[in-house]
């Protein structure tokens, strides 16, 4: 499949689905003359039409001229694995922030990230230790934004 074909199908699918959902929206008793449905329907229509044009144009194009697109999952698997790990790590970080506190959770997150991209242990440890401490001091104390202290609690300094 070519790039344009994939994008076109995406437009058809998203535009169609979105419009269908917009048509099912309830109409409330108190509202302006237009209501909540019309605008989303236009938007969905634009997406659907753009997708349709892309697909039709690709089909009209002779087979030899089409440039086949590949995500290169196999060749770039190292990149995709890193992306998936980052997503998983990021979500886990979000869940651990409140219970563990900013400093500890961020240390964990940074250790995870740095060891994922590099094997230099000393450098990685230094970054993972310094980043949370420096940002904590800057944001929590100098810029007075509140960050969760978590289980470290009173151990962290107030300025």
Partner 1 sequence: MDEIFANLAIGFSTALTPMNLTWVVIGGFLGTIIGMLPGLGPATGVAILIPISYSMDPTTALVTMCAIYYGAMFGGSRASIMINTPGDASAIVTCFDGYPMTKNGEAGKALGISALSSFFGGMVGMIFLVFFTLPVAKMALKFGPAEMFSLLILALTATVTLAQGNLMKGFLAMALGFMVGTVGIDPQSGIFRFTFGVEALQEGVDFLVAMIGLYAVAEVFKNYGSLEKNVSLDTSAIGKVWVSWKDFKRCFGSMVRASPLGFVVGVLPGMGGTVATFMSYAMEKGLSKNPEKFGKGAIEGVAAPEAANNASSCGALVPLLTLGIPGSGTTAVMLGALMMLGVRPGPVLFQMHPEIAWGVIASMMVGNVVLLLINMPLAIPLVKLLKIPTRIMLPLILGMAFMGTYFLNYSSFDFVLVTLFALGGFLLMKLEVPLPPLVLALILGETVELNFRNAMTISGGDVMFFLERPLSATFLGLAGLSLAYFLWKNRKDSRKAR
Binding site for partner 1 (CB under 8 A): 3-4, 6-8, 10-11, 14-15, 18, 21-22, 25-26, 28, 30-36, 38-40, 43-44, 46-47, 50-51, 53-54, 57, 69, 71, 76, 78-79, 82-83, 86-87, 90-91, 93-95, 97-98, 106, 109-110, 113-114, 117-118, 120, 123, 127, 131, 135, 139, 143-145
CB 111 within 8 Å of CB 85: no
Residue with tokens 């329907």: 41
The smaller minimum CB distance to partner 1, of residues 11 and 104, is found at 11
- 34: its two tokens: 């237009």
Looking at beta carbons only, is 26 or 157 nearer to partner 1? 26
- Nearest residue (CB) to partner 1, 63 versus 132: 132
Which residues fall within 8 angstroms of residue 82, CB to CB, at 6 or more apart?
116, 117
Report the SS3 class of residue 145: coil
Residue found under tokens 């800057």: 138
The answer to whether the beta carbons of residues 127 and 111 sit under 8 Å apart is no
Q: Smallest distance, Å, CB 47 to partner 1?
A: 4
65 vs 154 by CB, closer to partner 1: 65
The dihedral through the CA atoms of 8, 85, 151, 126 has a sign that is negative
Between 26 and 62, CB nearer to partner 1:
26
Q: How far is the CB of 137 from partner 1 (least distance, A)?
A: 13
Separation of CA 78 from chain center: 19
Q: How far is the CB of 52 from partner 1 (least distance, A)?
A: 9
Minimum CB–partner distance for residue 85 and partner 1 (Å): 10
Helices (H), the chain: 3-23, 38-60, 77-100, 102-117, 121-135
């Amino acid at each position: 499949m070519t790039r344009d074909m994939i994008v076109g199908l995406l437009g058809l699918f998203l535009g169609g689905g979105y419009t269908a959902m917009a048509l099912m929206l309830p109409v409330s008793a108190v509202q302006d003359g237009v209501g909540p449905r019309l605008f989303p329907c236009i938007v969905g229509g634009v997406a659907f039409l753009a997708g349709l044009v892309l697909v039709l144009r690709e089909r009209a194009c002779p087979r030899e001229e089409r440039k086949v697109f590949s995500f290169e999952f196999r060749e770039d698997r190292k990149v995709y694995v890193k992306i998936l790990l980052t997503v998983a790590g990021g979500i886990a970080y979000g869940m651990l922030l409140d219970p563990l506190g900013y400093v500890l959770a961020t240390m964990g997150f940074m250790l995870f990230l740095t060891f994922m991209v590099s094997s230099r242990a000393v450098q990685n440890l230094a970054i993972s230790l310094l980043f949370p401490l420096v940002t904590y001091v800057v944001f929590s104390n100098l810029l007075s934004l509140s960050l969760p202290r978590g289980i470290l609690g009173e151990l962290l300094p107030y300025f």
